[in-house]
Structure 1
Amino acid sequence: MGILWMIIIGLIAGAIAKLIMPGRDPGGIIVTILLGIAGSLIGGFLFGGSDGRVGLIGSVVGALILLGLYRLIIGRRAHV
């Protein structure tokens, strides 16, 4: 149940992050889910959720960080 819950929270966090940072991204729903799940892990690391129970806000903050980095990396590739 923990993995399924992480995917659900990751999907929500990734969608909220894309709403906060609108723009054209080359990724679809799969990239959104992956950014959200990874954002949950980063949020847990940043906000001390060592037991894996990170709130939605921490997950969104982590997803925003990853989305910003993703756009920087993809943006550089597009201009090269």
Structure 2
Amino acid sequence: MEITGLISALLIGAFIGGLGRLVVPGRQHVSLLATILVGIVAALLGTAAATVLGVADTSGIDWIELALQVGLAGAGVTALANRRTTAPVSH
């Protein structure tokens, strides 16, 4: 992978992670770095899922692929937020 591809993946991951946080209602106590990492993973998984479904290579904007990516990012942010808030309390 070239450096431009890596930078593109980071920027798209940050964008997808941010959109994922926007679709989850309420306030999430998840760091910016965790949001970006969730966005990168969601972008990769969403692209893979769109490829399997046969909707990844369309002309123009791939709305179905974007919806898959944002949905996965929202699920990832929710999972991280719930993991942090439901941790057992030790006495």
Query: TM-score, normalised on structure 2?
Result: 0.65
Name the structure 1 match of 2:10: 7
Tell me, which stretches of 5 or more residues in structure 2 are unaligned? none
Tell me, which stretches of 5 or more residues in structure 1 are unaligned? none
% of aligned pairs identical? 25
Q: Deviations over 1:7-35 (max 9, x none)?
A: 11111111111111143333232122111
Q: CA deviation at 1:68?
A: 2.1
Runs of 4 or more consecutive aligned structure 1 residues displaced over 3 Å after TM superposition: 53-56
Task: Give the 3 Å change call, closer, same or farther, for CA 5–57 of structure 1 in structure 2.
Answer: farther
Query: TM-score, normalised on structure 1?
Result: 0.72
Name the structure 2 match of 1:48: 51
- Structure 2 residue matching 1:2: 3-state secondary structure: helix
Q: Distance in 2 between matches of 1:58 and 1:30?
A: 21
State the structure with more CA Rg. Answer: 2
Equivalenced residues, count:
76
Task: Give the 3 Å change call, closer, same or farther, for CA 56–29 of structure 1 in structure 2.
Answer: same
Name the structure 1 match of 2:33: 30
Give the CA RMSD over aligned residues: 2.3
